[in-house]
A = this chain, B = another copy of it.
Amino acid sequence: MTDAIPDLSTRRFGFLCYPGFEELDLIGPWEMATMWSSYARGPQCLTIGPTTDPMRCAKGLAVVPAESLATCPALDYLLVPGGFAAFEVMQDPALLGFVKRQARGARAVLSVCTGSFILHAAGLLEGRRATTHWKALPRLRALPGVTVEEARWTRDGMIWTSAGVSAGIDLLLGFIATEAGEAAASQVQWNAEYYPDSRAYGAAHRDTAAPGYLRAAE
- Residues of A bordering B, CB below 8 Å: 1, 22-24, 27-28, 30-31, 34-35, 37-38, 45-47, 54, 59-66, 113, 133-134, 152, 163-167, 169-170, 173, 177, 182-183, 185-205, 207, 213-214, 217
Contacts and interface: CB of A to CB of B under 8 A. Distances in A.
Copies of this chain per assembly: 2
Contact of A177 (B45, B173, B201): B201
B63 A63 contact: yes
B166 A1 contact: no
15 contacts: A23-B27, A23-B31, A24-B28, A24-B30, A24-B192, A27-B27, A31-B59, A46-B60, A47-B62, A62-B63, A152-B197, A173-B199, A186-B203, A190-B205, A196-B196
B66 A60 contact: yes
A22 B30 CA distance: 11
A15 to B, nearest CB: 9
A186 B167 CA distance: 16
Nearest to A29: B24
